[in-house]
Structure 1
């Protein structure tokens, strides 16, 4: 497993051993289509910068898929997830956000992968799809802000492009990764400055009453996380 330095001086942030512990639990219980640590971080990141609050009762089913072996294990995993969730908002507040990314083996050696993070981010958007989709359609600057995320998601096959899409070069891929902190900061600020309107919230409420569809499972992933 590969890690970089984490912000252990922050009370709300997980240290390396806690990240390892959560990573190990998720891997031990993962089946095809389940999010690993990078995906969970992407999911919680989308929620953190999104248009409105998403309660744990809504996002936990995207992360946990079976009963805990015992109460102590359950309490520990839930505490780690809560701490991870809190750390994202804390990092965004001081412009110190870092995505947790996967690490995959290539012919040239280990390389960072945004596939898992992007899958999780996409699922986080899906939890408030009505608000996101309407605003993305009506407000081009928001779509532009998310450009690097979308480029990575299309490159990794998480999103499908309407037009033919040329794979990113290694430099372009790395550049998009480097832009993720600034992207999330900008999107977080955007929704703070332009909150959901009453009409958008009414549409969300109507959708939640009449529609209950599950997102399609993503392709299976492997790799290690890096923070």
Structure 2
């Protein structure tokens, strides 16, 4: 590559602001082009892994910038020979898909009809097992798992206290490992049957984090200190002594 990741990241961030075409979802031809271009990067994500990674980062509690996820998507190794034009095209396609995933999540879908909701709601990009040779959603779950690496310990603690969130994460883990419980394999039919549960569960996690952030970031009312008791009144510490002989004595105050 003629430019390093840092330089290319600056390019993508400026294009993201300036170019409204980045809001256009990828077509089948665009996905095929992105898949071909990613072949120039050893260790890059598959399209299914990419979608899972983006989903995890977008439903999560923190804003993750392209400069942070690009090395994961493209891999750490030096790219093969690739033109500057193709390099820019890769980042354009990546950001378009990122924006599409973003648009598939919202806190309230009640203002849309069932058809509109089904059309706009996020649905995982999944390879056909007959073409990929891998179980349904295995790569997607692997990408989602990688996206969880950005979660800090405080967020893990909150996530693990919510039973619904834990259930969704267990479902994703089953897609990744192939086991719904130790020694119990997840069959291909079961994978297909629970995709709808996965879709609903991802929306739940997205809403969970938005509500969590509203609570922890809410302004707190300052607590006013109560007036100190009179010097001859009983000390509020519970000692039974007068305030002037206890916590209000010069020795205690100084």
Please confirm whether the aligned pair reaches a TM-score higher than 0.5, indicating the same fold. yes
Report the secondary structure of 2:185's partner residue.
coil
The question of whether the paired residues in 2 share the 8 Å contact of 1:39 and 1:117 is answered with yes
Partner of 2:251: none
Partner of 2:206: 188
> Per-residue deviation at 1:130?
2.5
Q: 1:182 to 1:71 in 2, by over 3 A?
A: same
Query: 4+ residue runs of structure 1 moved beyond 6 angstroms?
Result: none
The question of whether the paired residues in 1 share the 8 Å contact of 2:53 and 2:143 is answered with yes
Partner of 1:26: 38
Q: 1:129 to 1:104 in 2, by over 3 A?
A: farther
Report the secondary structure of 2:24's partner residue.
coil
Partner of 1:41: 51
> Per-residue deviation at 1:140?
2.8
- Higher strand fraction (1 or 2): 1
> Per-residue deviation at 1:113?
1.8
TM-score under structure 2 length normalisation: 0.62
1:177-207 per-residue CA deviation (whole Å, 9 max, x = no partner) reads 2322212111111111112847xxxxxxxxx
Q: 1:152 to 1:90 in 2, by over 3 A?
A: same
Q: How does 1:14-93 map to 2 (within 5 A)?
A: 14-31=26-43, 34-65=44-75, 66-67=78-79, 69-93=82-106
Q: Rg larger in 1 or in 2? A: 2
Corresponding residue to 2:123 among 81, 90, 98 = 98
How far apart, in 2, do the equivalents of 1:140 and 1:132 lie?
14
Structure 2: gaps of 5 or more residues = 1-21, 107-116, 218-254
- How many residues of Structure 1 are paired with residues of Structure 2 in the alignment? 180
> Per-residue deviation at 1:154?
2.8
Report the secondary structure of 2:129's partner residue.
strand
Alignment root-mean-square deviation, CA: 2.8
- Bigger relative CO (Cα 8 Å, ≥ 6 apart): 1
Corresponding residue to 1:167 among 163, 166, 185 = 185
The question of whether the paired residues in 1 share the 8 Å contact of 2:159 and 2:166 is answered with yes
Q: 1:179 to 1:138 in 2, by over 3 A?
A: closer
> Per-residue deviation at 1:37?
0.7
How far apart, in 1, do the equivalents of 2:154 and 2:127 lie?
29
Partner of 2:137: 114
The question of whether the paired residues in 2 share the 8 Å contact of 1:38 and 1:100 is answered with yes
How far apart, in 1, do the equivalents of 2:23 and 2:66 lie?
21
> Per-residue deviation at 1:46?
0.4
Q: 1:147 to 1:179 in 2, by over 3 A?
A: same
